[in-house]
Amino acid sequence: MKRVKLKVMGISYSQTQSGAYALLLIEENGDRRIPIIIGGFEAQAIVIKLENLEPPRPLTHDLFKKVADQFNIAVIEVIIDKLEEGVFFSKLVCNNGEKEYIIDSRTSDAVAIALRFGCPIYINEEILEKAQLTNTPSDTDLSSEEDTGKSQETGSKFSSYSDEELYKMIDEAVKTEDYEKAASIRDELEKRNDSRKQP
């Protein structure tokens, strides 16, 4: 069965389920995208890795990585191999240097783990074909926020603070484990740095 390599495009609030988030994956060499509804904890685990934030204590997925490293277990790849009633099913392909193991996983956990191991994420072609977003107006609205994984409110919320204040706020947000706020502040700082680089 043909497989397609995916990359993480971003995360935004889900527009269909209150309190949930939408993880957007896109094929590496194309423009087909799939949205996956995930919970807040998994969204947080993915965001802090995408934003290269360092939590004061290891999250569950970080702990998994540390335990796996101690026992010389590597996650080689993640494969999204099934879609039933709107729910994606995934597998972790692991190797301890002697034997390969395949472990069932929720897709949100599998993506969070893949980011920590730096391993590829694949999906079966027929699932991607079935689940991909079509270019309807509502999808375009959804993807405009997900393309960067950034909140539309970032500029208005933090634009009045100085750089020094924002760096202090990031430190405080990480200490209190408010990673969503820390990521939004970092977005504002990156936006400022980008504008300063422009001639």
Write down the mean pLDDT value for the chain.
83
Residues 6+ away with beta carbon under 8 Å from 63: none
User: What DSSP designation does 56 have?
Assistant: S
| Cα-based distances in Å from 74 to 5, 102, 118, 119, 161 | 19, 12, 10, 9, 43
Question: pTM of this prediction?
Answer: 0.70
Task: Answer whether 108's CB lies under 8 Å from 36's CB.
Answer: yes
pLDDT in tens, 100-158: 999 999 999 999 999 999 999 999 999 999 998 754 333 333 333 333 333 333 344 78
What topology is assigned to 3-134 in CATH?
Answer: Bifunctional nuclease domain (3.10.690)
Query: Where are the domains positioned within the chain?
Result: 3-134, 154-197
Mean of the pLDDT values across residues 92-97? 97
Q: Which two tokens stand for residue 173?
A: 């947000």
pLDDT in tens, 57-73: 888 999 999 999 999 99
Q: Which two tokens stand for residue 179?
A: 């990673």
- Which of the four pLDDT bands, split at 50, 70 and 90, describes residue 52? confident
Task: Answer whether 71's CB lies under 8 Å from 77's CB.
Answer: no
